[in-house]
Amino acid sequence: MAVVPESAAGPAVALLARLRGRTPMMVDQLAALVSAETPSSDVAACAAGIDVVRQIAAAVIGDAGELVVAEDRTHVRWRWPAPPGRRPIALIGHADTVWPTSTLTRWPFSVDAVAGIATGPGCFDMKAGIVQLLHAVSALDDRSGLEILITSDEEVGSPTSRLLIEDIGRAAAAALILEPSRDGALKIGRKGTGSYRLDVAGRAAHAGLEPEKGANALVALAEVIGRVGAIARPAAGTTVTPTLAAAGTAANVVPASAYVEIDVRVAEPPEADRVDRELRALATALPGTELTVSGRPNRPPMPLAASAALFELARGAADRLNLPAPDGVFVGGGSDGNFTAAVGCPTLDGLGAVGGGAHAEGEHVRIDSMPQRSALLAAIIERVRSGPMAVLTDLG
């Protein structure tokens, strides 16, 4: 056990006690946020959800933030200028969820007081993280240098918020991402993601009368899919997975078209380009058929190096709060932390909720962890702000 001088640990422990006292308020605010459904595909519902975030922020930090409208999407941000010679600290989350409209009618927000958990669509990924973030900021004596961004298109690859996230990442000393933890562990690395689609065009013919006049797109595609697997390099963390496919128009017709969607994950940055190159070099072997490859890499990988310094700092902050030091995990799923890491910003992810079941029926949040995670975030912010990471060096 680490020995911490009482004088240094005292304020941190007092901060945790203060946030624990706010647990009922946090749960009420989580209920309000979960009860505003925000499927990524419904931009109006997402805008209404962002409005609920702003109402909660007005209550917790006394500031509803500024709306950012990008194409048809609404995001919200807060900015407090950094002191001279210091760089800002970015705090990033998303209000959209993977759950379709009306999921609440069969699965409303609820609290199981005995088990100490709250459940509802999107509570874990990542509405609890937003509530925790706002309370962390409210607990800080000094907000200078903080930049908060809550987006509404993360679950669909952040098409309208990516440029803003990258801009914030370029300027920031650190990006702290409020995605859920994995059993409390912080996310210290993430695979990069890509999505592709292979379309084969062939020639239709009656399957009974004159199949020889056709060019079977399905057969051609099946042969190509057999070669797609060889592009994967599991030892390097690269997976290339055919996921969704369809072909043909009727049971007695040689299919004139067939397609397959491919999910790509890479752990090493150069692998994204290699996979892209090799997928684009594919061609069908069957005469009369032709392959078209579409898609691209989406999120670049977030390497361990991007989080190493922040992870150590977070473990030290947990120690100061008398909380167990969090573990770190490298995960296959992407987040907006991939974008900040790729522009060179030190990034730590998984700072949000403790619980389980992201994107799964029954996702839930541990209520006692909400003030703990909130205090941990506040302590990390303090440490980054007062440490060497936030010093603005001359880039000229």
Binding site for Zn ion (CB under 5 A): 125-126, 179
Contact 282, 269 (CB under 8 A): no
Q: How far apart are CA 33 and CA 52, in angstroms?
A: 6
Q: Which is nearer to Zn ion, 77 or 87 (CB)?
A: 77
Residue 87 CA to residue 90 CA, distance in Å, equals: 10
> Are 367 and 116 spatial neighbours (Cβ–Cβ below 8 Å)?
yes
Task: Give 155 or 276: the residue with its C-beta nearer to Zn ion.
Answer: 155
State the minimum distance, in angstroms, from the CB of residue 396 to Zn ion.
Answer: 37
C-beta closer to Zn ion: residue 125 or 382: 125
- Position with the least CB separation from Zn ion: 125
- Cβ atoms < 10 Å from Cβ of 248: 18
Smallest gap from residue 379 Cβ to Zn ion (A) = 23
Nearer to Zn ion, 65 or 180 (CB): 180
Q: CA dist 231 to 123, 222, 226, 267, 286, Å?
A: 37, 15, 10, 14, 20
Q: Which is nearer to Zn ion, 284 or 335 (CB)?
A: 335
Q: Which residue has the tokens 């936030």?
A: 390
Question: Residue 126 or 310: which CB sits closer to Zn ion?
Answer: 126
Q: How far is the CB of 264 from Zn ion (least distance, A)?
A: 20
**Burial category of 158 from C-beta neighbours within 10 Å (exposed 0-12, middle 13-18, buried 19 and up):** buried
Q: Which residues are within 8 A (CB) of 182 and not within 5 positions of it... i.e. 6 or more apart?
A: 329, 331, 350
What crossing angle do the helices spanning 369-386 and 23-34 adopt, rounded to 10°? 100
CA 70 to chain centre: 19
Least distance from C-beta 98 to Zn ion, angstroms?
A: 8
Least Å distance between CB 155 and Zn ion? 6
